[in-house]
Amino acid sequence: MSGTSLDGIDVAIVEINGHRVETIGFQSTPYSEEVRRAILAVSNTTTTTREISRLNFHLGELYASAVQRACRRYGPVELIGCHGQTIYHQGGANTLQIGEASVVAERTGVPVVSDFRTRDIAAGGQGAPLVPFVDCLLFRHPHRTRIALNIGGIANITVIPTGIAFDTGPGNMAIDALAREYTRRRQNFDRNGRIAARGNLNRPLLDQLLADPYYRRKPPKSAGREQYGAEFVTHLIETGLPLPDLIATATVLTAATIALAVTTSVASYAPTDLIVSGGGAHNPQILAHLAAFLPGVALATSADYGIDVDAKEAIAFAILAYQTWRRKPSNLPSATGARRPVVLGKITL
């Protein structure tokens, strides 16, 4: 997996037996500054066809190296799922991931499933989100309604087993930006929620932020980077409040908007468990607020279910690849809006 955060390449080595999924290993390989710049230079902008073609093959080499490094440590694999790097995405219309699967297959000698999003769009869907299918597969329970919550830059939930999935609002994005500001770029995030713990919640500011109509809008809905990006953070800083107070307030906002979604949009499903993954699962402040906001819901991290909170997305694309290999559909029309379940991706032998 390599996400739009451009951190780099996450490799999860997974053993799948029917519905049993075991994580054998997980390894991250950061992109070099040069590669990060090259990806930004072709993303959603003016470029040359030559540069896209070159980068497609170059990323293929990087993916192959990352897989080979993980396999040297954790042993060989039989199938690779490769999400690729999204350089353009317009849900419902078209999408473009690069990172040549032929290069990955040729270097590793292992079949590759790639290009997962195009078929869902061809079937009328948004091409995203694709992870809810995996949430349902991993966390389904015969009697309980569970919610899988991923706290990345944006926070999103999947209701299990119904497969309803949407963005609840901010995840770590604003907290991270404020923590960078507070630590003068020595920290990229609020490690263990320590800064938030030192600050005080500013109730008027929280109320003002919660007034955003997004939180009361019915799903399906999705929140973009632009919603909680530079402009949002500048607005917070301009209040003149101490940064720890802003971080504390942003932390509560994340938990409160998640809780709002659980207690309003999906309350009718009577969820019993909330299973947290993503970077936010490392933040005890977010978890504590969630527990306080949702007294009737059992809180756990995906690690409690055997799924490393950081590896979950990479694990998801291993599972999606396995589905495709067995010729099984793996989009959830309830999550993507597609007309029907379809077999995702392309197979390179």
* Site residues for a second copy per CB under 8 A: 42-50, 52-54, 56-57, 60, 87-88, 90, 93-96, 100-103, 105-107, 114-115, 118-119, 121-123, 324, 327, 342-343, 345-349
Indicate if the alpha-carbon torsion angle 96, 98, 100, 105 is positive or negative: negative
DSSP code string of 255-284? HHHHHHIIIIITGGG---EEEEESGGGG-H
Residue whose CB is less far from a second copy, 6 or 243: 6
Task: Write down the least CB distance from residue 105 to a second copy, Å.
Answer: 7
Specify whether the CB–CB gap between 140 and 118 falls below 8 A. no
Residue whose CB is less far from a second copy, 86 or 254: 86
- Dist. CA 236–CA 199, nearest whole Å: 14
Task: Write down the least CB distance from residue 121 to a second copy, Å.
Answer: 7
- Dist. CA 225–CA 44, nearest whole Å: 14
Task: Write down the least CB distance from residue 58 to a second copy, Å.
Answer: 8
Residue whose CB is less far from a second copy, 85 or 251: 85
Task: Write down the least CB distance from residue 332 to a second copy, Å.
Answer: 17
Specify whether the CB–CB gap between 155 and 165 falls below 8 A. no
Residue whose CB is less far from a second copy, 26 or 317: 317
Nearest to 22 by CA among 332, 322, 342: 322
Residue whose CB is less far from a second copy, 53 or 188: 53
Amino acid at position 6, single letter: L
Task: Write down the least CB distance from residue 118 to a second copy, Å.
Answer: 4
Task: Write down the least CB distance from residue 303 to a second copy, Å.
Answer: 34
Which contiguous run of DSSP H or E holds residue 207? helix 203-210
Residue whose CB is less far from a second copy, 6 or 206: 6
Q: Which CB contacts under 8 angstroms, 24+ apart, belong to 37-41? A: 39/6, 39/85, 39/87, 40/6
HSE (CB half, 13 Å, CA atoms) of 272?
8
Task: Write down the least CB distance from residue 191 to a second copy, Å.
Answer: 35
Residue whose CB is less far from a second copy, 17 or 46: 46
Which contiguous run of DSSP H or E holds residue 26? strand 20-30
